[in-house]
Amino acid sequence: MVRKSQQDKKSVYGAAPEQDPILSHTLAVIVDNEPGVLARVIGLFSGRGYNIESLTVAETDGSKKLSRITIVCSGTVHVIEQIHHQLGRLVAVHDVYNLTVEGAHIDRELALLKVRGKNDKRIEALRVADIFRARVVDSTLESFVFEITGSSEKVNAFVDLMTPLGLVEIARTGVAAMSRGKEGVHDGK
């Protein structure tokens, strides 16, 4: 494990830029739903220079006042490990699960897209939405609002296709994720 990269480095602050590949990881963080928790989590990322790609948070257990934060973050294996431990030491954090390394998981995102157009473009938008199994949740004679759920990649692809068809506005929730299989994160607690 001892790093022995002997490459000559000019920086006086020693450690050279990490050369390990940058990966995206999905973390599920169970926290007390109290003021300031989200700020502490976000402050940790900004203070230590970690990257957040997506973050969602909502209360998941009203009786115990627990919230679940799903964070998609990117970094080398070393950085992700650090993020995991740094989150774990916060007082209001109960558990941190790295869904990416703990086995197969599902991640889903919901997006609302407003598409404005007439005639062929309007029909084409509706056709593409059908292919993507997006639902129409609002409609005027000149516009649709589509609701689409799926992986971030699927949502990205849908957005790309809608752009030339009159896309005027997007709202995305960010990723919510869960491990596959029968095990639950609260098992044994």
Partner 1 sequence: MATKTSTKAKPKPNMQLVKAVSSSAAKKVQSAPVFEKKTLTGAEIVIQALVDNGVDTIFGYPGGAVLPIYDAIFQQKKVKHVLVRHEQAALHAAEGYARSTGKVGCALVTSGPGATNAVTGLTDALLDSIPVVCFSGQVPTFLIGTDAFQEADTTGITRQCTKQNYLVRDVKALAGTIHEAFHVAKSGRPGPVIIDLPKDVQFAPGPYTPPAQADLSRYQPRTMPDLSKIEDAVEMIANAKRPVFYTGGGVINAGAGASKLLTEFVHMTGAPITTTLMGLGAYPMSDKQFLGMLGMHGTYEANLAMHDCDVMVNIGARFDDRVTGRLDAFSPESKKIHIDIDASSINKNVRVDLGIVADSEEALRAMIAVWKKRKYKMDAGVMKIWWAQIEKWRAIKCLSYQKTDKVIKPQYALERLQYFLSKQKKEVFITTEVGQHQMWAAQFLKFDQPHHFMTSGGLGTMGYGFPAAVGVQMAHPNAMVVDVAGDASILMNIQEMSTAVQYRLPVKIFILNNQWMGMVKQWQELLHGERYSNSYTESLPDFVKLAEAYGGVGFRAHTPAELDDVIQKMLKTDCVTIVDVCVDQTENCFPMIPSGKAHNEMILSADAKKFDKTLV
Stretch that binds partner 1, among 20-28, 76-84, 132-140, 155-163 (CB under 8 A): 76-84
Which of residues 38 and 159 has its CB atom nearest to partner 1 in the complex?
38
Which of residues 9 and 186 has its CB atom nearest to partner 1 in the complex?
9
Q: Pick from 153, 146, 149, 155: which is nearest to 127 by CA?
A: 146
| DSSP 8-state class, residue 165 | G
- CB of 20 vs partner 1, minimal distance in Å: 11
Q: Are 125 and 166 in contact (CB under 8 A)?
A: yes
Please give the angle made by the CA atoms of 20, 23 and 26, to the nearest 5 degrees.
Answer: 145
Could you say whether residue 141 binds partner 1 (CB under 8 A)?
no
By rule CB under 8 A, what count of residues binds partner 1? 33
Which of residues 98 and 173 has its CB atom nearest to partner 1 in the complex?
98
- CB of 28 vs partner 1, minimal distance in Å: 18
Q: CA 109, 112, 118, 123 torsion: positive or negative?
A: positive
- CB of 45 vs partner 1, minimal distance in Å: 11
Give the Å distances, CA to CA, from 107 to 28, 36, 56, 100, 161: 11, 26, 12, 10, 21
List phi, psi (to 5°) of 74.
-125, 150
Stretch that binds partner 1, among 7-15, 111-119, 152-160, 181-189 (CB under 8 A): 7-15
Could you say whether residue 53 binds partner 1 (CB under 8 A)?
no
Cα dihedral 33, 99, 24, 175 in deg (nearest 10)? -50
- CB of 2 vs partner 1, minimal distance in Å: 6
Stretch that binds partner 1, among 14-22, 115-123, 143-151, 152-160 (CB under 8 A): 14-22
Which of 17, 19, 21, 35 lies at the binding interface for partner 1 (CB under 8 A)?
35
Cα dihedral 181, 186, 187, 188 in deg (nearest 10)? 160
- CB of 100 vs partner 1, minimal distance in Å: 18
